[in-house]
């Protein structure tokens, strides 16, 4: 018989301890003998260390600085070669280069940028700007677009 041919049930009944000697889990019921953990009704806190303030004082209490600003979405310059014309957050979103058009985007240099495009994003490295100018395009820094509310979208639909 092979290991993968064994007929074993996946679910095993839990062991009922403290039900007498003949049940197999009697007397100390798997708690060992004596000590704080062997007693009933005694639950220890997660940070408890025998009365001393060991772990609780060893862990720093929210020190330092954590920025709440979401980091810019990064697009590499060689991915822009397939695009043409005006390129903004929405064009990058439709080309699956960024996750959402409503967060800051920064273009960073990688390989060559040969496309003649007008890049309208929130940021671009100096190398990307020089590559754009060299290929006949240009970079314009713009504000991050805000999502339209339901009321604005409805008003735009009526005017169109």
Phi-psi map region of 152: left, alpha, beta (phi>0 left; psi -120 to 50 alpha): alpha
For residue range 90-149, list pLDDT tens digits in order: 999 999 999 999 999 999 999 999 999 999 999 999 999 999 999 999 999 999 999 988
Domain count, the chain: 1
Predicted pLDDT at 136: 94
Residue 81 covered by a domain = yes
pTM: 0.57
Interstrand relation of 123-124 and 105-108 (parallel, antiparallel or unpaired)? parallel
Residue 90 covered by a domain = yes
Residue 16 covered by a domain = no
Residue 1 covered by a domain = no
DSSP for 102-118, written as a single string: TS-EEEE--S-----EE
Residue 116's domain spans which residues?
73-141
Residue 34 covered by a domain = no
Please tell me the chain's helix, strand, coil percentages from 3-state DSSP, rounded to the nearest 5: 30, 15, 55
Residue 160 covered by a domain = no
53 pLDDT more than 90: no
Predicted pLDDT at 153: 77
**CATH number, residue 135:** 3.100.10.10
Cα distance between residue 39 and residue 135, in whole Å: 78
Predicted pLDDT at 155: 80
- Chain-wide mean pLDDT for the chain? 88
Predicted pLDDT at 46: 76
Residue 9 covered by a domain = no
């Amino acid at each position: 018989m092979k290991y993968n041919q064994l007929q074993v049930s996946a679910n095993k009944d839990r062991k009922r301890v403290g039900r007498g000697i003949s049940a197999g889990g009697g007397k100390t019921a798997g708690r060992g003998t004596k000590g704080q953990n062997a007693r009933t009704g005694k639950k220890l806190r997660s940070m408890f260390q025998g009365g001393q303030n060991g772990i609780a004082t060893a862990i720093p209490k929210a020190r330092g600085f954590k920025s709440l600003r979401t980091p810019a979405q990064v697009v590499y310059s060689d991915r822009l070669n397939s695009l043409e014309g005006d390129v903004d957050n929405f064009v990058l979103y439709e080309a699956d280069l960024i996750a959402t058009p409503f967060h800051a985007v920064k273009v960073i240099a990688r390989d060559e940028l040969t496309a003649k495009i007008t890049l309208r994003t929130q940021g671009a490295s100096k190398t990307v700007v020089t590559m754009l100018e060299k290929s006949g395009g240009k970079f314009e820094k713009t504000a991050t677009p805000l999502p339209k509310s339901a009321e604005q979208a409805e008003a735009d639909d009526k005017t169109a």
